[in-house]
A and B are shown apart, each in its own frame.
Chain A
Amino acid sequence: MEFLVASAIGLLTASGLYLTLRMRTFPVIMGISLLTYAVNIFLFASGRLVVGAPPILSDGVTTYTDPLPQALVLTAIVISFGMTAVVVMIALGAYLGGKDDRVDDPVPGDASGKSSQAEDMA
């Protein structure tokens, strides 16, 4: 079980990193979202994996999973939505304003830095 979670974190990180290193805004946003999953699971897993012991207090039960990482991750999930929305908005504004959805600034003096999409947009 631990191996499954660890490998899932690893895979999400790897695919997130790969997509973050792409050159257009959309894959970068996807990549950051994947990294967010990875980080959230990682934080959550710092409370160790416990099956069937939710932190809902009830009489007669003595084992509960660690509630603190859950509380932290819960707000992290909501905040990451806000962050994703802002990044998407910035990407959208850049694309609509500059007709280009590259994440890298064009190299100065390089005329081909302008996207071929400029014509497509119209």
Chain B
Amino acid sequence: MSLFLVVALPFLGALLPGLMNSAGRQACAGLTFTVTLAAFIGLLTNLPAVLAGDLVTARFDWIPVVGLNFTLMLDGLGFFFACLILGIGLLIITYARHYLAREDNMGEFFTYLLLFQGAMVGIVLSDNILLLLVFWELTSLSSFLLIGYWKHLPEGRQGARMALTVTGMGGLAMIGGMLILGNIVGSYDLSVILQNRAVIQASPLYLPALILILLGCFAKSAQFPFHFWLPHAMAAPTPVSAYLHSATMVKAGIFLMARMWPVLSGTPEWFVIVTGAGLITMVLGAVIALFKHDLKALLAFSTVSHLGLITMLLGTGTAFGAMAAVFHILNHATFKAALFMSAGIIDHETGTRDIRVLGGLRRLMPVTFVIASIAALSMAGIPLLNGFLSKEMMLDEAYRTVLFDTVWLVPALATVGALFSAGYCFRLIGHTFLGPVRDSYPAKPHDPGFGLWGPPAFLTVLVVVIGIAPFLAEPFVKLVTASVLGDTATLPTAHVKIWHGLTPALYMSVVAVVGGLLILLAYRPLLRLWDAAPRPEAKDIFERIIAFSVAASQAVILRLHNGAFSRYAAIGVVAILVAGYFAWVTGTMDAPTRMMQSANWVAIAGWAMLMAAGCALVLLHRNRLLALILIGIVGLMVSVGFVYFSAPDLAMTQFTVEVVTIILLLLALNFLPNQTPIESTVLRRIRDAGIAIAGGLATMALSWHFLMRDAVTTPISEFHLANAYKGGGGTNVVNVILVDFRGFDTFGEIIVLGIAALLIYALTETLLDGPVRARLLNRQPDQPRAGDMHPMMMVVLTRVIMPVVMIAAVYIFLRGHNEPGGGFIAGLIASIGMVMQYMASGFSWASARLRYPYHGVIGAGVLIAGLTGIGSWFVTKPFLTSDFMYVRIPPFEKFELATAALFDLGVFLAVVGAVMLTLESFSRLARTVDRRDSEHAMDIDPSRDEPEGDEPTRNTAKEGV
């Protein structure tokens, strides 16, 4: 099976359990199992090639420009990890099916699990480090979901957050390290990077890259000082802990260290950092684990300790160390997953995981006892079990490792770690299973069904088989080791066997086991000592660091981003001015190439009106209605300017938009205060005026500069002018650009316009659903109302005008391709015609006669435009290629049929729908309780003539006067 499929199957499958939740727990679990099994079998089909030493690859260029390609490769190491992930995944799925309670959402669980599984498989099969980083981050995210699966538990949420924070930060460091590494080598392909050991280690950037990558690995694999997140992640359901913390998530960091081993290892830096961190983690984890009373916490710290052991082995940089590491990864996955599952069984059946209230379970849960004991003894390093073999290899390697020129340091620490490791294993067995049967447990203990004990039992069988017959596993371990080593070292010839003779490692092992037993005997006094000893609580430190970071960032952010819009605006304007000034003074200025054109009196008069209106607007803006009139003058003069400077289309658009904008602002002003109060100080107004004048002068200078000079290169409009008629079939070049040359832009614009209108509609709905509704309904208008709500002259006039406006809109639309006009302008004209009906005859009257909702009109417009564009695919042309032809139907003159006209129809509809939906939404806010909107137009409101005593005083409270 293609590697793509192996990686993709879990992701594709992840969609299903969540959707199939209603099909039942069995169906969800069965489906997840099937998907995983399919991926597993797919992986196994590649086994012959891996055994033959081939590199199975699959390649798909994703974003080759940045070196990000979807390339996968499968060698021994990748196969080993993928096998662990999918194989143990199968056992976990079976186990989880029986472990999760009825009220747990199983579909959700399995969806997360498959997502995680896919991400893990992606990591181990990636041949591109950027792709690997994508999967790496995906595991952080999906493990966050899994750890926090029990959302109702605060520990679950906190643990998930902590795991995400730590692994996510590590991931960031990792991204930096990988990018540096890729830059050193000049390729982001792992297979290329792995060939460049000498180049990488000679680079001055080797150390930063190494540190960053190791930060990522250590965070992920819970190495000191990042070890604290793992025990807190134990709030997850046990299947998650068993999966994430035995074979997968925490091994990702180990995997990456193994993957990068050929190019990163072997230097003093690597040795000191990796071996040092591994040793500390191993001892620290083992010591803490001994004094944990929660079974899962004990196992969590033991996992930390064993990960430290593997890290230390990878750190030594010798081929034998790598082989021991690989072997221990395998062994640890088997016994630790079995132990986690056993802890889950005990929790499930006795109702507690606290060792202090357990004991004597040997008689009550014999099956679990056997499974857990074998696994724990293996972890303790008892002969004939697989843990013994790899621990011997570890001690052997430690014996020959010299750190800081101190011969005894590493062997001594390794022995201490092994000693405490044996101690907590014995405690696990002794305090949980042995001893007298208690009178009461939180629940009545009994062995679970096969669904729960089957998976750990299977792993225990592996523990024993490998332990007794290591020669069965040896070829596989050596195969994997060979792919870890690459070309940098030769495979060690040593064999994995139970009896090596009386070696130092054996003595160390004996010391560890005997010491472990002694610790168990002296447990009570040791515990008292431990409890009395002061020690830093990692969680508190973590939380203090988080609190400090939050406070520090708030101190910065709240000062800069204090919610004062006018301040941001001022800072923004000044910054742009400074940047522009810098560009201006550092640039060169050519002499003007154009002559100034003379202005006639009409132009000067228009200019004077614009300037006067602009100045008056600033001075009189506090009177908002007046401001609206003044801005109308500005808009009008701008439209006139467009006419004057050969832009009839623009003038028509500006003019019609001006009308609807003023209507819109009038509607808004209905609710807003009529006056703007004087609030800012004189100083502040002077400051603002200074900024504004500087900005105005800058834009004026800029405009003046380029208006007096020709364009530096030939404008691309030459092409548009030359091809508008030949290629687009229209003589109005602006319209041809809109619907043809740059039709895709226009398509985007009408979608944006539609979204804006829908947004306004949604905001209106939200307002009308909330507390604002009552306030709006009981609003007292601040102006006396006209008694004649629908003036008869206006009603008659607008209705008579309506067909004329519509004919004008159709005319403007149809001629748009050849003469000024088109969909945008026609849409605006048609909207104005309709808005007039609302204004004259009332909202209810107009709404009752509305046949199509405006949302639908927007949708139809976008759809028509889109389908017109898609239509060109059927003649194998790119999206939105237009076509046209001339038709003659007697007795009419020859006329043109263009697909662009159909596109323009879409534009027309979208504009009509958007403008109308916007205005309609605003006017819906205006309806009040005391003034029911009549369904009949042309009625007189008699209430105007009724005497009202408080009439003169009612509306004196003007806004902000």
- Chain A residues near B (Cβ < 8 Å): 1-30, 33-34, 37-38, 40-42, 44-58, 64-68, 70-71, 73-75, 77-86, 88-93, 95-97, 101, 103-105, 107, 116-117, 119-121
Contact for B752 among A5, A27, A82, CB less than 8 A? A82
Which of B209-217, B348-356, B448-456, B636-644 has 4 or more CB atoms under 8 Å from chain A?
Answer: B636-644
Q: Evaluate contact between A105 and B563: CB separation under 8 angstroms.
A: yes
Least Cβ–Cβ distance between B693 and chain A, in angstroms: 5
Q: Does B872 belong to the interface (CB within 8 Å)?
A: no
Q: Chain B's nearest CB lies how many Å from the CB of A103?
A: 4
Known: A17-B696, A45-B707. A103 touches B646 (CB 8 A): no
Q: Are A71 and B699 in contact (CB under 8 A)?
A: no
Select A82's contact among B711, B724, B757, beta carbons within 8 Å: B757
Q: A7-B611, A17-B692, A104-B564 are in contact. Are A93 and B673 (CB under 8 A)?
A: no
Report if B839 contacts A (CB, 8 A): no
Within 8 Å CB of B915, what residues of A?
81
- Which residues of A are found within 8 Å of B699, using beta-carbon distances? 9-10, 13, 38, 42
Question: Is B904 part of the binding interface, using a Cβ–Cβ cutoff of 8 Å?
Answer: no
B745/A75 in contact, CB under 8 A? yes
Beyond A9-B700, A41-B641, A95-B672, whether A34 also contacts B634 by CB under 8 A is yes
Q: With an 8 A cutoff between CB atoms, is B60 at the interface? A: no
Known pairs A26-B676, A41-B641; A34 contacts B631 (CB<8 A): yes
Q: List 13 A-B contacts (CB under 8 A).
A: A5-B641, A15-B696, A21-B691, A22-B621, A26-B672, A54-B646, A55-B732, A67-B734, A70-B734, A74-B650, A77-B654, A89-B763, A105-B564
Binary interface encoding of chain B residues 699-733 relative to chain A, with 1 for a CB under 8 A from any of its CBs, else 0: 11111101110110001110011001100000111
Q: Which B390-408 residues sit within 8 Å CB-CB of chain A?
A: none
| Chain A, residue nearest B755 (CB) | A82
**Of A2, A38, A53, the contact of B707 (CB 8 Å cutoff):** A2
Complex contacts, A105 vs chain B, CB 8 Å: 562-564
Q: Does B539 contact A (CB under 8 A)?
A: no
- What are the residues of chain B within 8 A of A1 when measuring CB–CB? 596-599, 603
Check A67 against B598 for contact (C-beta < 8 Å).
no
**A103: which B residues are within 8 A, CB to CB?**
565-566
Contact B564 A48 (CB under 8 A): no
- Checking B695, B753, B766 against A14 with a beta-carbon cut-off of 8 angstroms, the contacting residue is B695
Q: B615 within 8 Å of A by Cβ?
A: yes
B711: nearest residue on chain A (CB-CB)? A48
B-chain residues with CB within 8 Å of residue A116 when the two chains form the complex: 960
- Bound together, the chains give a CA A23 to CA B673 distance in angstroms of 14
User: Which residues does chain A contribute within 8 Å of B570, judged by CB atoms?
Assistant: 21
- Asked whether any CB of chain A lies closer than 8 Å to the CB of B738, the reply is yes
Cβ-defined contact, B957 with A73, below 8 A: no
Closest 5 CB pairs of A and B: A14-B696, A105-B563, A10-B700, A82-B756, A18-B692
What separation, in Å, do the CA atoms of A111 and B512 have in the docked complex? 69
Residues of B within 8 A of A86 (CB): 756, 759-760
Alpha-carbon separation in the docked complex, A3 to B828 (Å): 32
User: Interface size (B, Cβ < 8 Å)?
Assistant: 123
Q: Among B680, B763, B819, point to the contact of A22 (Cβ < 8 A).
A: B680
Question: Is B704 within 8 A of A3, CB to CB?
Answer: yes
| B832 → A minimal CB distance (Å) | 12
Contacts of B732 in A (CB 8 A): 55-57
Contact A89 to B689, CB < 8 A, known contacts A45-B703, A57-B733, A82-B752? no
Contact in complex: B638, A41 (CB < 8 Å): yes
Interface residues of B (CB under 8 A from A): 562-567, 569-570, 573, 594, 596-599, 603-604, 607, 610-611, 614-615, 617-618, 621, 624, 627, 631, 634-635, 638, 641-642, 644-650, 653-654, 657, 660-661, 664-665, 668-669, 671-673, 676-677, 679-680, 688-689, 691-693, 695-704, 706-708, 710-711, 715-717, 720-721, 724-725, 731-734, 737-738, 742, 745-746, 749, 752-753, 756-757, 759-760, 763-764, 766-767, 770-772, 775-776, 818-820, 824, 828, 911, 914-915, 918, 921-922, 925, 957-960
Partner pick for A96 among B697, B702, B716, B772, CB 8 A cutoff: B772
Contacts A27-B621, A57-B731, A79-B753 aside, 17 further interface pairs with beta carbons under 8 A come to: A7-B700, A8-B610, A10-B701, A18-B688, A21-B570, A24-B677, A26-B673, A38-B699, A48-B707, A57-B725, A67-B720, A67-B737, A70-B734, A74-B734, A88-B665, A89-B921, A96-B772
- How many A-B contacts if CB must be within 8 Å? 323
Residue of B654, B725, B733, B760 with most chain A CB atoms under a 10 A cut-off: B733
Q: Which of B596, B688, B717 contacts A68 (CB 8 A)?
A: B717
List, in ascending order, chain A residues with CB within 8 A of B717's CB: 47, 66-68
**What's the nearest-Cβ distance from chain A to residue B673, in Å?**
6
Contacts of A52 in B (CB 8 A): 646
Contact status of A104 and B563, CB under 8 A, knowing A33-B661, A50-B645: yes
Tell me the bound Cα distance from A55 to B822 in angstroms. Answer: 14
Contacts of A20 in B (CB 8 A): 566, 569
Chain A residues with Cβ under 8 A from B921's Cβ? 89
* Contact between A67 and B733, CB atoms less than 8 A apart: yes
Q: Tell me which residues across on chain B come within 8 A of A47, comparing CB atoms.
A: 715, 717
**CA A85 to CA B579, docked complex, whole Å:** 31
Residues in chain B near residue A121, CB distance under 8 A: 775
Q: A34-B634, A78-B749, A83-B756 are in contact. Are A19 and B618 (CB under 8 A)?
A: yes
Tell whether, in the assembled complex, residue B597 and residue A2 are in contact, meaning their CB atoms are under 8 Å apart: yes
Contacts of A46 in B (CB 8 A): 706
Q: Chain B residues with Cβ under 8 A from A19's Cβ?
A: 617-618, 621
In the bound complex, residues from chain A placing their C-beta under 8 Å from that of B653 are: 74, 77-78
Question: Contacts A56-B732, A68-B737 hold; do A85 and B634 have CB atoms under 8 A apart?
Answer: no
Cα A45 to Cα B645 in complex, Å, equals 9
Tell me the smallest distance from the CB of B718 to a CB of chain A, in Å: 9
Contact, CB under 8 Å: B614 / A17: no
**A97 partner residues in chain B, CB cutoff 8 A:** 767, 770-772
CA gap between A53 and B647 in the complex, in Å? 9
If A17-B695, A30-B631, A83-B756 touch, whether A57 touches B611 (CB-CB below 8 Å) is no
Q: Say whether A56 contacts B634, CB under 8 Å.
A: no
Interface centre among B618, B646, B700 (most CB of A within 10 A): B646
Closest to B642 in A: A44
Contact B657 A78 (CB under 8 A): yes
Cα of A94 to Cα of B532 in the assembled complex, Å = 58
Bound complex: CA A24 to CA B678 (Å):
10
Residue of A nearest to B645 (CB): A49
The residue from B646, B665, B692 contacting A53, defined by CB atoms under 8 A apart: B646
A56 to chain B, nearest CB (A): 5
Q: Pick the contact of A64 from B673, B692, B733 — CB < 8 Å?
A: B733
Instruction: Check B649–A6 contact: CB distance below 8 A.
Output: no
